[in-house]
Amino acid sequence: MVDTLPGTSSALPALIRFENIYKSFGSQVVLNGVSIAFTEGQTTVVLGPSGTGKSVLLKHIVGLLQPDAGQVYYRDERIDHLSDRDMSPIRKKIGFLFQLSALFDSMTVGDNVAFPLRTHSRLSKADIDDRVAERLAMVGMENSERKMPGELSGGQRKRVALARAIALNPELVLYDEPTTGLDPIRSDVINELILKLHEELKVSAIVVTHDLASAFKVGERMVILMGGGIIADGSADDLRSHRDPRVQQFITGRADEADLRALHRI
């Protein structure tokens, strides 16, 4: 750390640190010795093929999954073995946007967004209502407080879930595919929101996405997770000039020769 130039992002302290994380489900190895530090105040984009363990990686940060081996640190506190109760103060500082939105079906949109405020803060009812309205407006869902999640489209649910994830002014937001299922204009609004949170509130962010346009727009640092490990890590330019053909193939979005052959057989 000492030899990095002042002003470069790596001089900033690590907010989240993974050390040698192994995680398997049954006989399927998903994370195979992943070590990575996510810098405070930075937006890191995690790319990778479907089913490679990106969501699994995020769930380790909030303690929804525990590693088979290895350690997870939040600042300097080891968090991978904490109970729900001990984890609570850390979860309070993290906003999590679930890939499937995970809105509570039995509650209105307003109650969904208010939920973290009610469990984690001592705001008055009026303040909660104000905050809910404000956050819904930020994601373009104003005046939808009384709707039920079942009445919303997939993209609308995602935006409500995003409003819920940022309700508590978290210092770290984990976005699991924030723009999936949104039209290009909405996607860009979400990108702008991520940038705005980052620039104005200095929120740190980890963005898992398949949307390369979004990735290049919001990402200060790009990481590719593939085959249980991190195969590339650097700025957008680093990735574009990366020598590994898997990286090139991924960021240009070309189909694999083998996959194409399989298609031609049809």
Ligand X SMILES: Nc1ncnc2c1ncn2[C@@H]1O[C@H](COP(=O)(O)OP(=O)(O)OP(=O)(O)O)[C@@H](O)[C@H]1O
Over the window 193 to 232, marking each residue x when it contacts ligand X by CB under 6 A and - when it does not, the resulting string is ----------------------------------------
Site string for another protein, 85-124 (x = CB under 8 A): ---x--xx-x-x-xxx-xxxx---------xx--xx----
66 contacts which partner out of Mg ion, another protein, ligand X, none, CB within 5 to 8 A by kind?
A: another protein
Residue 128 contact, options Mg ion, ligand X, another protein, none, Cβ 5-8 Å cut-off depending on partner type: none
For 9, what's the count of Cα atoms within 13 Å in the CB-facing half-sphere? Answer: 16
DSSP letter for each residue of 6-74: TTSGGGSPEEEEEEEEEEEETTEEEEEEEEEEEETT-EEEEE--TTSSHHHHHHHHTTSS--SEEEEEE
Q: Where does residue 262 rank: exposed (0-12), middle (13-18), buried (19+ CB within 10 A)?
A: exposed
Site string for ligand X, 51-90 (x = CB under 6 A): xxxxxx----------------------------------
Q: 21, 30, 194, 215: which one contacts ligand X (CB under 6 A)?
A: 30
Binding residues among 47-76 for another protein as defined by CB under 8 A: 59, 62-64, 66
Interface mask toward Mg ion for 32-61; x: CB under 5 A: -----------------------x------
In whole angstroms, the minimum distance from the beta carbon of 91 to another protein comes to 6
DSSP 149: G
Sorted by sequence, the CB contacts under 8 Å of residue 114 that are 6+ apart come out as 128, 129, 131, 132, 167
DSSP state of 4: S
Shortest spacing between CB 170 and another protein, in angstroms: 11
Cβ atoms within 10 Å of 204's Cβ, excluding its own? 22
Question: Which residue intervals of the chain are DSSP H helices?
Answer: 54-61, 84-91, 109-120, 125-138, 154-165, 184-201, 212-218, 236-240, 245-252, 257-264
Q: Which stretches of the chain bind another protein, using CB under 8 A?
A: 26-27, 59, 62-64, 66, 84, 88, 91-92, 94, 96, 98-100, 102-105, 115-116, 119-120, 164
Q: Which stretches of the chain bind ligand X, using CB under 6 A?
A: 25, 30, 48, 50-56, 99
